[in-house]
Amino acid sequence: MTSDQLAWKIRRHGIEMTHLSGGSHIGAVLSVADIIAVLYADVMNFDINNPKAESRDRFILSKGHAGAAIYAALAECGFFDTEELKTHYQNGSRLSGHVSHHVPGVDFSTGSLGHGLSAAAGMALAAKQDKKNYKTYVVLGDGECNEGSVWEAALFAVHFGLDNLVCIVDHNKMQSLDFCTNTLSTTPLASIWQGFGWNVIEIDGNNHEQCLEALKNGTVKGKPTVIIANTVKGKGIPFMENDILWHYRFPHDGWEYDTAVTELHKTKPLGVTDPYTPDGIENPVTPDENADIYNDHTMSATYKPTWFKKEKEQ
């Protein structure tokens, strides 16, 4: 499967999984889909018949709330049946909303932000000590970079020269309630990582060629690499893009689900079959004039404290 095909499948599964479960974080699933797809289609070494193979590359999705993306990728790669994806969030399922290592192909459970880079650094350090060749990849959110532990790990990875560690920041510019710059700004993100001593590459994180080039040829000797992947939250479904509403809201029955699927079908790559609605949706419900669409749902739209006014960032 090509990375384009896999990315499309991740998005389609993501819509279905959140639609069926009422689950959150579809916006994050859509922003990170391309990064995950390139990693699993073209970069990482793994063996679906031996998920714990010693020579495999390690992967941690530190922004564990985008777990649906990783489950979709693993199922599409053959670690388990894609049919199981429908159990996401359901009673008795192992497919928890946040990533679980009880799922084949998952190296590390996450869900509390700010843990993944440290654990990945531990794996990378062990590889150095034991002269093993695997690489460790970890995906962080930009909102996650609010966590102090991220910066403890950033210092650590540089100090110990972990050049076998690649961190990708899904820089979709948004976090739970608002844009990052309106919350606890880590702008300019690339300079901050540079200041910590990392090899920094900045790319369009929804562009597969750029992702692949950075992942394949971007690392340097002697220090860890961070790829600042500029992405769009909700990427691929225009009415979800850059709207914080879709951090938590799931595509409901009616125009939300129908429009999401219809939008995805407009960009379906050749050779991909939609497992849920193979021919798209006939006569999809469309949003009426009351639909909550293209409205500003950020906290700062209505949060106006009297004592504090955020200066505009340069």
Partner 1 sequence: MRDTFFATLSQLAKENKNIEVVTGDLGFGVLKPFWEAHPDQIINAGIAEQNLTSVAAGMALEGKTVFTYSIGNFPTLRCLEQIRNDCAYHNANVKIVCVGGGFVYGSLGMSHHATEDIAVMRALPDVTVLCPGDLVEATAVTKAIAKYPGTCYVRLGRGGEKKIHSDNIDFEIGKAIKVREGKDVAIFSTGAIFEEIAEACEILKENGITPTVYTFPTVKPIDTETICEIAKSHKLIVTCEEHNLSGGFGSAVAEVLAELPSHARLLRMGMNDQYCTIVGDQKYLRDQYGISGKKIAEKILHEVK
**How near is the Cβ of 104 to partner 1 at its closest, in Å?**
15
**How near is the Cβ of 23 to partner 1 at its closest, in Å?**
20
- Rg (C-alpha) for the chain, rounded Å, is 19
Q: Which residues here bind partner 1, judged by CB under 8 A?
A: 101, 107-112, 114-115, 118-127, 129-130, 148-149, 152-153, 155-156, 159-160
For 239, residues 6+ apart whose C-beta sits below 8 A from its C-beta are 259, 260, 263, 287, 293, 294
**How near is the Cβ of 100 to partner 1 at its closest, in Å?**
9
Pick 60 or 200: Cβ nearer partner 1:
60
**How near is the Cβ of 167 to partner 1 at its closest, in Å?**
13
φ and ψ of 169, to 5 deg? -100, 120
The b-or-e profile of 52-89 (16+ CB within 10 A means b, else e) is: eeeebbbbbbbbbbbbbbbbbbbbbbebbeeeebbbbb
Q: Pick from 1, 113, 11, 123: which is nearest to 59 by CA?
A: 123
Pick 31 or 62: Cβ nearer partner 1:
62
Pick 117 or 228: Cβ nearer partner 1:
117
Residue 221 CA: distances (Å) to CA of 95, 168, 310 = 37, 17, 40
**How near is the Cβ of 290 to partner 1 at its closest, in Å?**
42
Pick 109 or 172: Cβ nearer partner 1:
109
β-pair partners for 59 = 137
Pick 132 or 173: Cβ nearer partner 1:
132
